[in-house]
Structure 1
Amino acid sequence: MKKILLSIFMCLLLFNTTYGAEISDDDYYLKNSGYTKEEFQYLYNTIVKGIKNVSINEETFESVPYKPGINYVIKKAFMDYDHLNYVSGVRYVYSRGNRNIKNIYFEYNYIRDDIKKRMNEADVKADEVIKEIIKEEMTDFEKVVAVHDYIINNTRYDYEGFKSGKIPNWEHTAYGPLIRKTGVCDGYSKAFMLILKKLGIECISIKSDNHAWNMVKLQDKYYHVDLTFDDPYNEEGDMLSYAYFFIDDSEMAKDHNWNSEIYPKCDTIDFNYYKNNLGMIDSAKDETEFKEKITAAINNRIEYVYLKVDNTNMDIDKLIPEVLIENRYNIKISYSYKIFDDSFKISIIYN
């Protein structure tokens, strides 16, 4: 009888390992948790199982001891599976005797049946999007571009809800952008993550105190991608930008904050959109040079301009119209831009 019970337990343990990604030996959360890799992996898989199944309770069979580092396990699971996350809280119970964890409980913002319905709708829609926009001959980079463009072109950022502080909970999930066509930063991030994971492309969610975006891994290197910041709005309406598409830590840190200790390093721009696709990376020491660079960009129909400048007080809204008038361009353009301490990022749309 004892052998039978042991066999059942081992089968359950083996089944549990199918739920989550494999934890690497150098994982930040593992190294700081105080758990062995096997213990961490088991708890991680249990939590991921709960997230995926919208569980109320997952039993751990008292196989792993309680340690304060369990919070690292929870954070790791939520980071890796944030695209499925409707969980509002997690708590755990451990035995007073051997202090082994007995159960992990999940709390939700919605009725669980409604959550499952929304998760299923978003999942089905993600499959439809892949069928619509992804071609067999595409590289992984081209697939990421296609998903980035689809979400931005089909989602309206909820500025009204953001300003009023009244944002529906579903706008924080993949359901918002994919089904309701509206959302806020973590909704964009989760929709992006959901589709990329279906494509087998590694993608994680990055969170600061008041913002969310992604890191994408291509050819063993990580890059920042922020769909919300690539969906700027001006008087002409929504615009598609690549200013925050495959950029490194140094560039992202100009206007984003995150705990760099717990996330992978992004230290290359090999796949940066400006570098690889109709982009200009240059410098301008004064207004005359700025206008020369913009003229060259327009002449060559360049859509994305990154300029290092000596003076960020230049009036872009005055200089770009002057370029159009002085060159007598018979075209209409729309543009958006971001100003940093030492540079401009400008996106141009040719109408």
Structure 2
Amino acid sequence: MKTRKTGFIFLLLNIIFACSTFAQKYNEVDKIVLKYPKNFSTTEKLAERINQDFKSDIDKARAIYSWIAFNIRYDYNAFLNPQRTQGFSYSTEAEKQRKIKELNDRLYQKAFSSKKAVCEGFTALYQHLAELSGLKCEIIRGDSKISVRDIGRKNTSSNHAWNIVLIDRKWRLIDVTWGQGYFDSSKGRMVTDFSSIYFDTDPDYFFAKHFPDSGSYLGDKLNKDDFLNGPLIYNKTIENDFKIKSPNSGIIEAKYGDKINVEIKNLTKSDQVFYLNKRNQPVLIKNAKEKRGGLEFQILYDNNIGDYITIFVNTNSIVSFKVIPR
């Protein structure tokens, strides 16, 4: 009888947890869009449905984000085997813009019909649906930071694309490609996992992981060195607003015996904080102190630490640093 009761409580807790996770993952707009058909005959029909169901610009922009993230999958094979870039010539700015539009039209039509795309297709489809919904939207191309190997890179490259959309006289940052899921290196495949954090992302977090080809955002120059040399942050960092205050660089120079000081905002002592040593064994942080709205602690640099330190909070990776021995 006791086993049955324990099993029932466990099942109940799992149901409660699942419902809680669902509630946190999707907002009211998302829940409506989840009921939409996977297939619409045209992009105009989809935009018509969105404009019928939602009246505010922010809700329309979110509905477009959600539908694309729910229904368009990242084409990892196309990423591994990219088609040769087709250049074009032009004699006037008007001709250049017309040819860019023709290219983007082909991209969004292919993404919409095949239900798969790489970032260029995601962004072209988002821009097209936004414009059909009366929103001003642009595509931004630039660099992305997704791996510990990106920490301390010497140069940026143009390897990604995202959107900005104007809502209530404010440009919002959108990366629907990353909103639909991620690549799981341990499984060697894309994982579908809707995330809302790349819709209207805080610029401080966004530009820790993105760097536009122009080197600027809304006329303000961005610091390329900060992007290249900054720590790598993860989705849970943004989702929980875990601000990394120290170290302020992603590159740590240290010698054996040094203590690396770490400060992360919006953590408490009730959070389980640890890092992995070079044998992938968890090392629990035991010297953490609550201070200034977060946790401060030290990590001893010794021969058990490898080339990188990744800090976890409650099993989720939060931030990675590159360590250079002195």
TM-score, normalisation: structure 2: 0.45
Bigger relative contact order (CA 8 A; separation at least 6): 2
Greater fraction of residues in strand: 2
> Which structure: larger Rg?
1
How does the TM-score come out when normalised to structure 1? 0.42
